[in-house]
Chain A
């Protein structure tokens, strides 16, 4: 009798435990659809390594749900059309978690396609995890319940950047240069809007858009910027569009400040070299010398790939998704999406929240400046001997911006 009682109790415990961790040991297949070739390919390749590295770290015991993250990658050549084909192929292959980041043009197409797919195929829902596309429209006028953004959008970054620029009294004339698509247009718009609010005395002396990933020679643009008399350049450019721009700026003798989003992106540190010390700034959700777990990972990543772990927001992605799966006790996208919406978690740099109203991750932002690596900021990207040193940290409430999203919830 005693034996029976014991075994029943053991069975009950086992069943309870089993139901609590029903998803444990499951494999979550994720596909990242992004550019791995072409002019903007280096960024995609670096991020591919970052995903492989972090998926490994966060799998199993690395996340509260105990699931295994399995990453695969499809090259979209930065084309929305190819991305939609890749999305279809991924869904047919049984993938329920789609990741994309580079190119808001692609992001808008994917978000729309995922929303439509989910409406038409109940039971086969897909979640779109956006790790880098920062067009504010994605969480405002074009927001979707199935889209979750992990990087800070342009409105948030400009909020932080402009409050930093407002304190810099030597900034008087600003030039805005961007890539001619949704992202570049939004950066220009929010730069003007936030600066007009914080420093109405700053003059916008010029504004230009150039074709995305087409320009090899930025010398004419630099000549124009110099002729405009600008002391500060604001740009949302990324990958080769930024590295070639700073290369031309160095060669063309531009000596003003440069405010960027993506100085850390592959290739740009090399192009900057020791030039630009003290006058190239970056606003981002992370930086090279964060301390704690992230610093250890960066060192390990460098040793493993001889490359730099830049896209730290990918860690937010795994942290948040892992927590949501534990909360939902499932890997079913419908349940996970419900759990993900509004979730609060502790990530490597403090509390972050996936805001319920628009699915924009609320996170701290960091203003950093390009300078010589020293004892305080030792990490040097691409063996340049330089680093991005922290000058100001913006907690969640500063960078948070209101949303106009009218989300349709299932």
Chain B
């Protein structure tokens, strides 16, 4: 039971990190129609800027400053670069963000080096948020913080006690993602600026005629989207690892998230992130293979088939490619994504 709970929480926290990233991407896409290939690079920038700032002023101010810095960089990029190519259509926009991802990758390596930097979470987040104690006699217990050693061991050999701590960094990651989801949603639906943004998306000329500066709205949206990526970077970088290939590894996954969720759909991105986080975590837990499945169905495999690498491959081994498989299946059977609207 505690395995199921911990795995679910692991999956959810990873999924929520994906959501923090993909929300910015999907926000930019739905508002501006720009598929930002450099989005994961802004995530990486957030981690590195957060690392540098936290060296000077500590982690908590860095959590605020780094997203602002990254957001400002994003806004500047939109102002001087993206806006210029906007009039040439979607392909040049795509290519310019694609090029930017390479530039950021090389710049990060020049500035911070090619190896991982030691970006540690603050002391308050080290150690467990809570501990699940599974006692074979008294059942499952939840204890906030770390559990004392004597609770996790028993003098009686017949009694089995398993303590499963859940790291505070992951709890914090979940908290930030949920707060972010709420505030983005409130901003878009309940505020004046949100209304202007939504209107500028569908009727830019009308909004302009009403006296709003539409290019500036786009710049703000792009800046806000990259700032969200920067925030995810500070949290992801300190929880996992801050190194130059972090953009490449997450970059491909977040595209899966936005396509599966439905291009431009914030709620779709939320659903898809959680799904992919859970799929990846739980796939590791299962040792099912095609061979074992066949045996369970009552089929007897010949020696050649039993020794076949494909038949022997377990689900846990293919876990890393499952999101991409999922992507292909979605594109075949539901091209508009889980919650996407069909383009008119």
| A binding-site residues for B, Cβ under 8 Å | 36-39, 41-42, 45, 180, 206, 208-211, 214-217, 219-221, 223-224, 226-227, 240, 244, 251-253, 255
Contact = CB atoms under 8 A, between A and B. Distances in A.
A223 B162 contact: no
Interface-central residue, A39, A209, A240, by most chain B CB under 10 Å: A39
Contacts of B186: none
A253 B163 contact: yes
Contacts of B284: 208, 220-221, 224
Contacts of B249: 214, 216
B90 interface: no
Nearest to B131: A253
A387 to B, nearest CB: 21
B167 A42 contact: no
Nearest to A227: B3
B104 to A, nearest CB: 17
A224 B116 contact: no
Interface of B: 3, 6-7, 10-11, 14, 114-116, 128, 131, 152, 162-165, 167, 170, 240-241, 243-246, 249, 280-282, 284-285, 287, 316-317, 320
A251 B165 contact: yes
A66 to B, nearest CB: 37
Given A39-B116, A42-B116, A220-B11, 19 more contacts: A38-B114, A38-B243, A38-B244, A39-B245, A41-B114, A206-B287, A217-B240, A219-B167, A220-B7, A220-B10, A220-B280, A220-B281, A220-B282, A223-B7, A224-B284, A226-B164, A240-B241, A251-B128, A253-B164
A30 B165 CA distance: 49
Contact of A45 (B115, B167, B281, B316): B115
B114 A223 contact: no
Nearest to A45: B115
Given A216-B240, A217-B14, A223 B6 contact: yes
A245 to B, nearest CB: 12
A211 B313 CA distance: 13
B167 A251 contact: yes
A208 B285 CA distance: 10
Nearest to B126: A251
A208 B316 contact: yes
Interface-central residue, B10, B11, B152, B170, by most chain A CB under 10 Å: B10
A387 B121 CA distance: 25
A253 B317 contact: no
A41 B320 CA distance: 22
Nearest to A216: B240
Contacts of A219: 10, 167, 170
Nearest to B316: A208
A253 B243 CA distance: 26
B320 A214 contact: yes
B208 to A, nearest CB: 45
Nearest to B132: A253
A121 to B, nearest CB: 34
Contact of A223 (B163, B244, B285, B317): B285
A216 B116 CA distance: 12
Given A208-B316, A253-B164, A216 B7 contact: no
A350 B128 CA distance: 47
27 contacts: A36-B114, A37-B114, A37-B115, A38-B114, A39-B243, A41-B114, A41-B115, A41-B116, A42-B115, A42-B116, A180-B317, A208-B317, A211-B320, A215-B320, A219-B10, A219-B167, A219-B170, A220-B281, A220-B285, A223-B3, A223-B285, A224-B3, A224-B285, A244-B241, A253-B128, A253-B152, A253-B165
Given A39-B116, A42-B115, A216-B240, A223 B165 contact: no
A258 B131 CA distance: 22
Given A37-B115, A41-B115, A42-B115, A216 B241 contact: yes
A219 to B, nearest CB: 5
B317 A240 contact: no
Nearest to B169: A251
Given A180-B317, A220-B7, A253-B164, A38 B285 contact: no
A391 B306 CA distance: 42
A38 B245 contact: yes
A393 B12 CA distance: 46
Contacts of A221: 284
